[in-house]
């Protein structure tokens, strides 16, 4: 598969400046990524992709398997929490409608960046782009 995938969505990717900031000035030690996820009803794979027909949530599950299992030795990603968002308790529900929350811990920012550079991870991005309508990713110090 070519990189980036034909269904690449730059709106859900970090920019080069954001990657450099994490690489050059990120925290030492563990980091935690809080993912807020809004799935597509139907996954948006490139034409002819064998997984066409999946839901967005099913496509994202394939991506999640890649960063936790397929490249797990590189990422050492540990899912701390995964579950549906039941309601927006504070804030505008229309502007903050999310389907799921995923909290993932990495031993260091270097593990996270190495994962992003791994060819198997990059190949799995097709599932991320297919599954997500939008996302918010917050990086925090881990413990």
In the chain, the percentage of residues whose pLDDT exceeds 70 is 98
Task: With respect to residue 4, please indicate whether it lies within any of the assigned structural domains.
Answer: no
Task: With respect to residue 114, please indicate whether it lies within any of the assigned structural domains.
Answer: yes
Structure tokens at 78: 């540990």
- Distance, CA of 68 to CA of 94 (rounded, Å): 31
Task: With respect to residue 1, please indicate whether it lies within any of the assigned structural domains.
Answer: no
Structure tokens at 91: 């804030």
Task: With respect to residue 3, please indicate whether it lies within any of the assigned structural domains.
Answer: no
The answer to whether 105 and 30 are in contact (CB under 8 A) is yes
Q: What total of structural domains would you count in the chain?
A: 1
Task: With respect to residue 52, please indicate whether it lies within any of the assigned structural domains.
Answer: yes
User: Look-up: residue for tokens 């490249």?
Assistant: 71
Q: What is the pLDDT of residue 2?
A: 65
- Distance, CA of 141 to CA of 112 (rounded, Å): 13
User: Look-up: residue for tokens 């990524």?
Assistant: 33
Task: With respect to residue 5, please indicate whether it lies within any of the assigned structural domains.
Answer: no
Question: Which residues form the domain of 41?
Answer: 10-141
- Distance, CA of 15 to CA of 21 (rounded, Å): 10
The mean-pLDDT minimum among 8-22, 30-44, 57-71, 118-132 falls in 8-22
Residue 17 CA from chain centroid, whole number: 18
pTM: 0.90
User: Residue range 79-85: average pLDDT?
Assistant: 96
Task: With respect to residue 19, please indicate whether it lies within any of the assigned structural domains.
Answer: yes
Task: With respect to residue 78, please indicate whether it lies within any of the assigned structural domains.
Answer: yes
Q: What is the pLDDT of residue 1?
A: 56
The CATH number of the domain holding residue 25 is 3.30.70.100
Classify 23 in phi/psi space as left (phi over 0), alpha (psi -120 to 50) or beta.
alpha
User: Residue range 73-88: average pLDDT?
Assistant: 94
């Amino acid at each position: 598969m070519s990189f980036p995938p034909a269904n690449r969505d730059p709106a859900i990717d970090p920019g080069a400046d954001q990657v450099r900031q994490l690489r050059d000035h990120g925290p030492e030690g563990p980091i935690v990524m809080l993912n807020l996820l809004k799935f597509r009803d139907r996954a948006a794979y490139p034409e002819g992709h064998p997984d066409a027909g999946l839901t967005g949530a099913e496509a994202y599950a394939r991506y999640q398997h890649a960063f936790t299992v397929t490249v797990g030795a590189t990422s050492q990603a540990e899912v701390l929490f995964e579950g549906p968002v039941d309601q927006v308790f504070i804030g505008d529900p229309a502007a903050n409608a999310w389907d799921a929350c995923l909290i993932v811990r990495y031993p260091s920012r270097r593990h996270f960046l190495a994962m992003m550079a791994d060819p198997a991870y990059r190949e799995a991005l097709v599932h991320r782009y297919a599954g997500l309508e939008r996302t918010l990713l917050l990086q925090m110090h881990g413990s």
